[in-house]
Amino acid sequence: MSQVSHDVGGVFHHAGTAGRVAGAAPEHADCGALASFGDPDGNGWILQEIRTRLPERVTEATFDSPADLEKALKRAAAAHGTHEERLGEAAAQWPSWYARYMVAEQTGQELPS
- Is residue 73 domain-shared with residue 35, that is, in the same domain? no
* Residue 34 near residue 15 (C-beta atoms within 8 A): no
Are residues 12 and 34 in contact, defined by beta-carbon separation less than 8 angstroms? yes
Per-residue pLDDT tens digits for 30-83: 778 888 899 999 998 888 887 776 666 666 788 888 899 899 999 999 999 999
Residue 105 pLDDT grade (very low, low, confident, very high; cuts 50, 70, 90): confident
Could you give the number of structural domains in the chain?
Answer: 2
Please report, rounded to a whole number, the percentage of residues in the chain having pLDDT higher than 90: 19
Q: For residue 106, name the pLDDT band (cuts at 50, 70, 90).
A: confident
Pair (60, 101) in one structural domain: yes
Alpha-carbon distance of 77 to 79, in angstroms, equals: 5
Res 80: pLDDT: 92
pLDDT at 56: 63
Q: Is residue 33 part of a domain?
A: yes
Which pLDDT does position 108 carry in this prediction? Answer: 80
